[in-house]
Amino acid sequence: METEIKQESIKSFQSTIKKTEKALKQMTEKKANTTLIKKRLNAFHIGLAVLEKAWNNQPHPYNSKDLEEARNTLIGLLPSIQSIYEKSKEGSPQKTLLERRITSMELAIEEIEKTV
């Protein structure tokens, strides 16, 4: 796999994690229900860790149950991200960002499936 795709996928997960952490903080301040966003954030952390293990040989602390839950969460998120992607303007920064996010999530799902 190309180094550029690997780097973009890692950056995509890092960016998604930062955005999700910010949203979680805002939701917590508003005393909103944070169960779903915490589940997604955990899945993003696991997805990043799995890619870093596969490509950079960095170990991660996650067990099969954690990996399976993360996989299911990422699979569940893909249709909505793909829908937004299809509606976004061709050549726009948003479309590029979404394309990278979809690719990174699909790669993480593949890696998880290899290990579970």
14-33: average pLDDT: 97
- Domain range annotation of the chain: 3-115
Instruction: Judge whether residue 116 has pLDDT over 90.
Output: no
- Show the tokens assigned to 39: 């589940």
- pLDDT band with cut points at 50, 70 and 90 for residue 23: very high
pTM of the model: 0.95
- CA of 89: how far to CAs of 9, 93, 105, in Å? 21, 9, 21
pLDDT of residue 47: 98
Region 99-112 average pLDDT:
98
